[in-house]
Amino acid sequence: MKLNHVVESQQFTVPMLMDIFKLADEMEPVMARGGTRDYSNKIVALLFYEHSTRTRFSFESAVMRLGGKVLVTENANQFSSFMHGESLEDTVRVVGNYSDIIVIRHNEMGGAAHAAKVSPVPVINAGDGKGGQHPTQALLDFYTIHREIKTIDGVKVAMVGNLAEGRTVRSLAYLLGKFERVKLYFVAPTHLQMKGDIIEYLNHHKVWFTIEEDLRNVINEVDVVYMTRLESTEREGRTDSSFFIDRELLRFLPNRAIVMHPLPRQNEISSEVDSDPRAAYFRQTRNGILVRMALLVSIFDGCCWPRAD
Ligand code: CP
């Protein structure tokens, strides 16, 4: 099976993940010497219909480190022929003639999948709509856990915040569900809890999970606290302390554990946590470059894996 479109986390097999992470490790010295493995003949188009800092810049940086070139439209809703009523499908058919890979962030769930159906070149989903997926973020999150906790089998992860609409936690839950004895703690207000599709997937794969409403109930037993934003409107009238971490709560987090966040954060992690060695969220952003370089190389090189059962 050749790595072509990257649309959702479920498509990755465990051997694929391990190979991509090995390649990500190999990108460390490449990055340290300023780049390249000479992909100077490659062009990657970044088609972003929604705002982004990390995903867009890290993909741009990853392509440039590999010697390639980028075509970028930020805010494609305003600065592309979308303004003249051009469909996503037509835009992708055209941009695919100008590039070797299209990285797309779309405001609608399923946007990347629609693009992949018609694209003449591989499409990478850089986030699709509220409650969609963000598979490359999940890969870098997973790589961070793999590097810092050393093992994935048996890892205990608390996911905190808006789990219903958070595409990063949704994609990460799908990836973690592929490993043995993983334990997932979903910490959210009832109406923002994980949706049925993830719950069904985890039940089907016999993954242990629990539903919680307060981080304080579980923080002392997990290896990873993965914080995400609650929508600001959801904050009104509620006590944020159930979904908030500060220095006081950190006292209960095991020493071997880490705090992650896909960023940007609002105020769910106090800035006083930043100096604690367990705060991994800025290391996460750096890992994003390595993983995205590895993913691009895997696609450029036409890497193949055995088909999933
Ligand atoms: N983590 C993430 O997707 O960040 P951006 O929205 O800045 O790309």
Q: Is any atom of ligand 1 closer than 6 Å to the C-beta of 54?
A: yes
Sign of the CA dihedral with 291 first, then 295, 298, and 303 last: positive
Sign of the CA dihedral with 92 first, then 103, 169, and 162 last: negative
Q: Is any atom of ligand 1 closer than 6 Å to the C-beta of 287?
A: no
Testing ligand 1's pocket by substitution, the residue of 48, 51, 55 carrying the most ligand atoms inside 8 A of its CB is 55
Task: Quickly state the pLDDT bin for 1 (edges 50, 70, 90).
Answer: confident
Q: Is any atom of ligand 1 closer than 6 Å to the C-beta of 262?
A: yes
Nearest residue (by CA) to ligand 1, atom 7, is: 53
The residue to which tokens 């609002």 are assigned: 266
The beta strand positions in 10-109, using DSSP E, are: 43-48, 69-73, 101-106
Q: Which tens digits make up the pLDDT trace of 239-270?
A: 478 999 999 999 999 999 999 999 999 989 99
* Residue 75 Cα distances to 53, 72, 104, 161, angstroms: 12, 10, 11, 26
> How would CATH label the architecture of 135-283?
3-Layer(aba) Sandwich (3.40)
Q: What is the mean pLDDT of the chain?
A: 94
Residue 274 three-state SS: coil
Nearest residue (by CA) to ligand 1, atom 6, is: 52
- In the prediction, which pLDDT does 199 show? 97
Q: Are 22 and 293 in contact, with CB atoms under 8 Å apart?
A: no
Average pLDDT over residues 152-159: 96
Nearest residue (by CA) to ligand 1, atom 3, is: 55
- Residue 268 CA, chain-centre distance (Å), reads 19
The alpha carbon of 168 and the centre of ligand 1 are apart by a number of angstroms equal to 9
- In the prediction, which pLDDT does 84 show? 75
- Residue 63 CA, chain-centre distance (Å), reads 18
Q: Is any atom of ligand 1 closer than 6 Å to the C-beta of 166?
A: no
The alpha carbon of 204 and the centre of ligand 1 are apart by a number of angstroms equal to 30
Q: In angstroms, rounded to a whole number, what is the distance separating the alpha carbons of residues 260 and 228?
A: 9
- Residue 59 CA, chain-centre distance (Å), reads 12
The alpha carbon of 52 and the centre of ligand 1 are apart by a number of angstroms equal to 5
Average pLDDT over residues 70-78: 84
- In the prediction, which pLDDT does 239 show? 46
Residue 290 pLDDT > 80, yes or no?
yes
Range with the lowest mean pLDDT among 25-39, 68-82, 194-208?
Answer: 68-82
Interaxial angle between packed helices 135-149 and 281-300, expressed in degrees from 0 to 180 and rounded to the nearest 10? 120
9-133+285-300 and 135-283, same CATH topology: yes
The alpha carbon of 149 and the centre of ligand 1 are apart by a number of angstroms equal to 23
Task: Quickly state the pLDDT bin for 305 (edges 50, 70, 90).
Answer: confident
Q: Is any atom of ligand 1 closer than 6 Å to the C-beta of 52?
A: yes
Residue 113 pLDDT > 50, yes or no?
yes
Q: Which tens digits make up the pLDDT trace of 221-241?
A: 999 999 999 875 544 445 478
CB count in 10 Å sphere of residue 277: 7
Domain boundaries, the chain: 9-133+285-300, 135-283
- In the prediction, which pLDDT does 235 show? 46
> pTM (2 decimals)?
0.95
Residue 309 pLDDT > 60, yes or no?
no
Domain 9-133+285-300 fold? Rossmann fold (3.40.50)
